[in-house]
Chain A
Amino acid sequence: MAETRRPKLAVWKFSSCDGCQLSLLDCELELLAVAEAVEIAYFLEATRTVGKGPYDLSLVEGSITTPHDVQRIGEVRRQSKLLVTIGACATAGGIQALRNFKDIKGFIDRVYAHPEYIEALATSTAIADHVTVDFELRGCPINKNQLLELLSALLNRRKPNIPTYAECIECKTRGTVCVMVAKGEPCLGPVVQAGCGNLCPAQGRGCYGCFGPLGNLPNTAALTAQFAAMGMDRRDIQRRFRSFNANAQAFRKESEAYDD
């Protein structure tokens, strides 16, 4: 690695809960090494000091939900050499994209005393729907080991080892007994990208799909047919696909197939 200048890192927040940014602070032991390897130029969650752009790497958390967000993400993109989205909000629209299936005006009228002050888009969308994204880290929240792996890969100019296979492979390599087969417990794992570290199946529960759909069009229809055969009703099946990654294309299509 060239010793000349540490790459400048910026961390941006859009509509989100901050959980993914916190994964960076959660790196604890490795955090010092991160701070040595990169100049943390913009990271309001951690420091009020603001270093000026352009930035070598921008980590973007959160989805686009207001007209102001649309304008701001354009500015972030212009100031960033590499833009990496972190988490389900930035990558798929997040849990707040549930509004995409409903009329947002109804929500605003019910929740706010003065709805006229609220300026919100009708949808919550992924960063990639607005600007070019160089890499996506999935998860709700992201896995800090994947974040460190991505940073190490970028710093050392190598390919990041971020798997694109199904969560099932994490079960089998860890030795977790399949909850679908051994317990008849519905699990999204076969259509979900691995990466969480096998959190739910290792606890004997089905996968909730935090890491979003498997690339290359997962066969969600075959899985929901199996859910139905296991006795789940249409509403429950639809709900499985309506969570953190509800607006990811494959999940949106599958849940819409269960609109009655």
Chain B
Amino acid sequence: MAPSIGAKVVLLREDLDRLIAELRERGYVVIGPTLGEGAILYEEVTSSGDLPAGWSDVAEAAAYRLQEGADRRLFGYSLAAQGWKRHLYPPRQRLFLAERAGRGFRLSSGEADGAPMALLGVRACELAAIQIQDRVFTKEGFTEPGYAGRRRAAFIVAVECGRAAATCFCASAGTGPAVGPGYDLLLNEMIDGDAHRFLATAGSDNGAAILGGLSCRPPTAAELSSAAAQPAAAAAQQQRRISADAAGVLTRAAESPHWEAVSKRCLTCGNCTMVCPTCFCTTVEDITDLSGDIAERWRQWDSCFTIDYSYIHGGSVRQSGAARYRQWITHKLASWHRQFGSSGCVGCGRCIAWCPVGIDITAELHALEQAEQVSKGGDNGAD
């Protein structure tokens, strides 16, 4: 009988190659975790041999290191240096090309869409981030066609976390570690002695059809409970958390002296926004060749930390580092709710690990919260 949505089967370690081959057979370019430049990177993979078997990542504020683990887990790390954003919404995209033709010009649209992608190894927080970007880019009336096309065509293989990095705080952000709906396939990787296998769950008809093609056995009760225990174990390891009242704290903190204090440490480099899987800001560039016969319009990732970002006639609105840091954290954690109906932070911790000076969004929020409590306490005392 063909499996349906919700069906669970067991894939052996070697079946993962059949899964990758099956996805490729169906025309997908499979993007998954690879090792490169001392980090996990999401790049094209053609077989399970490309995956970082046995490697794990250790992340702290301003530090990320790979470390060889005790077993040969393929998904034993937490997160790649950058997320899936660079595949679904590439850093540079050509919007159109115009060529002079007689007295007029000929327009051609941006770049042709590539082959559909299968994203292998999407974590709970990352799936939540993709769903946030869906709301940003496919809002009615404001659809970004490039993103929408790539997203519609993408096949998502989520992998549930059984461990958390020190920078993770998805549990308090409410996005993980258990993977929520929206995947095509969900994998739980399990190693027990010599037995290395995956519990696979179908999340869509497409996912069910692919599982059907692999013809695997159903799971045992022990396998089911071992998989079910993974997210709880990952949640228990989380050391950082974000306050449920983040939006309130930030809305009340607009004039806080704390912004000055952060700006003493912040480089305004923009790394946090670049690695954030939900940040979506871009700028547009028009270029020409020397003759003026060819003109192109390009869109490139931008950040509210760049000085040009807030440039309007007469100068930049956000000159100080204080104003720029406040913009970033307030947009992420507060005004995002009004704009898109949720927080803009999924708790992946990338902005903490990849900030060259280790500025920690959870610690800054906490400091603002403390300052608020102290000043409240002071008010009470004065009554």
Q: Using a CB–CB distance below 8 Å, which chain A residues touch chain B?
A: 1, 30, 33-34, 36-37, 148-149, 151-153, 155-156, 158, 161, 163-166, 168-169, 172-178, 180-184, 187, 189-191, 204, 214-216, 218-219, 221-223, 225-226
CA distance A184 to B268 in the complex (A): 20
Q: Can you name the residue of chain B whose Cβ is closest to the Cβ of A187? A: B356
Chain A hits for B270, CB < 8 A: 165-166, 168-169, 172
Q: Can you name the residue of chain B whose Cβ is closest to the Cβ of A30? A: B290
Please tell me if the beta carbons of A181 and B62 are within 8 angstroms of each other in the complex. yes
Task: State whether A177 and B303 are in contact (beta carbons under 8 Å apart), knowing that A33-B291, A155-B290 are contacts in the complex.
Answer: no
Q: Can you name the residue of chain B whose Cβ is closest to the Cβ of A226? A: B357
Please tell me if the beta carbons of B62 and A152 are within 8 angstroms of each other in the complex. no
Task: State whether A152 and B288 are in contact (beta carbons under 8 Å apart), knowing that A172-B271, A173-B92 are contacts in the complex.
Answer: yes
Please pick, from A33, A158, A190, the residue contacting B290 in the complex, using a CB distance under 8 A.
Answer: A33
Please pick, from A165, A175, A219, the residue contacting B266 in the complex, using a CB distance under 8 A.
Answer: A219
Please tell me if the beta carbons of B269 and A177 are within 8 angstroms of each other in the complex. no
CB distance from B366 to the nearest CB of A (A): 20
Please tell me if the beta carbons of A226 and B274 are within 8 angstroms of each other in the complex. no
Please pick, from A152, A156, A168, the residue contacting B356 in the complex, using a CB distance under 8 A.
Answer: A168
Q: A36-B290, A175-B91, A178-B81 are in contact. List 14 more A-B contacts (CB 8 A).
A: A30-B290, A36-B291, A166-B267, A166-B270, A169-B274, A172-B301, A173-B91, A177-B41, A181-B353, A182-B39, A183-B38, A190-B357, A216-B316, A222-B267
Please tell me if the beta carbons of B354 and A178 are within 8 angstroms of each other in the complex. yes
Please tell me if the beta carbons of A182 and B357 are within 8 angstroms of each other in the complex. no
The reply on B14 being an interface residue by CB < 8 A is: no
CA distance A214 to B270 in the complex (A): 12
Please tell me if the beta carbons of B290 and A152 are within 8 angstroms of each other in the complex. yes
CA distance A221 to B266 in the complex (A): 10
Chain A hits for B321, CB < 8 A: 219
> Using a CB-CB cutoff of 8 Å, which residues 36-63 of chain B contact chain A?
36-39, 41, 62-63
CA distance A37 to B294 in the complex (A): 14
Please tell me if the beta carbons of B265 and A222 are within 8 angstroms of each other in the complex. yes
Please pick, from B264, B287, B292, the residue contacting A1 in the complex, using a CB distance under 8 A.
Answer: B292
Please tell me if the beta carbons of B356 and A226 are within 8 angstroms of each other in the complex. yes
Please tell me if the beta carbons of A172 and B308 are within 8 angstroms of each other in the complex. no
The reply on B245 being an interface residue by CB < 8 A is: no
Q: Can you name the residue of chain B whose Cβ is closest to the Cβ of A182? A: B38
Chain B hits for A177, CB < 8 A: 36-39, 41, 81
CB distance from A192 to the nearest CB of B (A): 10
The reply on B319 being an interface residue by CB < 8 A is: yes
CA distance A184 to B92 in the complex (A): 28
Please pick, from B65, B271, B307, the residue contacting A215 in the complex, using a CB distance under 8 A.
Answer: B307
CB distance from A9 to the nearest CB of B (A): 12
Q: List 20 A-B contacts (CB under 8 A).
A: A34-B290, A37-B291, A152-B287, A153-B288, A158-B288, A168-B274, A168-B356, A169-B301, A177-B39, A181-B353, A181-B356, A182-B38, A183-B38, A190-B269, A190-B356, A204-B37, A222-B264, A223-B356, A225-B357, A226-B357
CB distance from A203 to the nearest CB of B (A): 10
The reply on B161 being an interface residue by CB < 8 A is: no
Chain A hits for B353, CB < 8 A: 181
CB distance from A199 to the nearest CB of B (A): 15
CB distance from B14 to the nearest CB of A (A): 31
CA distance A168 to B285 in the complex (A): 19
CB distance from A4 to the nearest CB of B (A): 15
The reply on B205 being an interface residue by CB < 8 A is: no
Chain B hits for A187, CB < 8 A: 356
The reply on B306 being an interface residue by CB < 8 A is: yes
CB distance from A20 to the nearest CB of B (A): 19
Task: State whether A175 and B41 are in contact (beta carbons under 8 Å apart), knowing that A152-B289, A222-B265 are contacts in the complex.
Answer: yes
CA distance A218 to B268 in the complex (A): 8
Task: State whether A37 and B37 are in contact (beta carbons under 8 Å apart), knowing that A172-B271, A181-B63 are contacts in the complex.
Answer: no
CA distance A8 to B354 in the complex (A): 47
**Most chain-B Cβ atoms within 10 A of its Cβ — which of A152, A172, A173, A221?**
A172
CB distance from B17 to the nearest CB of A (A): 26
The reply on B4 being an interface residue by CB < 8 A is: no
> Using a CB-CB cutoff of 8 Å, which residues 72-117 of chain B contact chain A?
81-82, 86, 91-92
Please tell me if the beta carbons of A172 and B63 are within 8 angstroms of each other in the complex. no
Please tell me if the beta carbons of B63 and A168 are within 8 angstroms of each other in the complex. no
> Using a CB-CB cutoff of 8 Å, which residues 140-175 of chain B contact chain A?
none
The reply on B208 being an interface residue by CB < 8 A is: no
The reply on B280 being an interface residue by CB < 8 A is: no
Please pick, from A168, A174, A215, A221, the residue contacting B269 in the complex, using a CB distance under 8 A.
Answer: A168
Please tell me if the beta carbons of B290 and A37 are within 8 angstroms of each other in the complex. yes
CA distance A89 to B64 in the complex (A): 37
Q: Can you name the residue of chain B whose Cβ is closest to the Cβ of A221? A: B264
The reply on B10 being an interface residue by CB < 8 A is: no
Chain B hits for A226, CB < 8 A: 62, 356-358
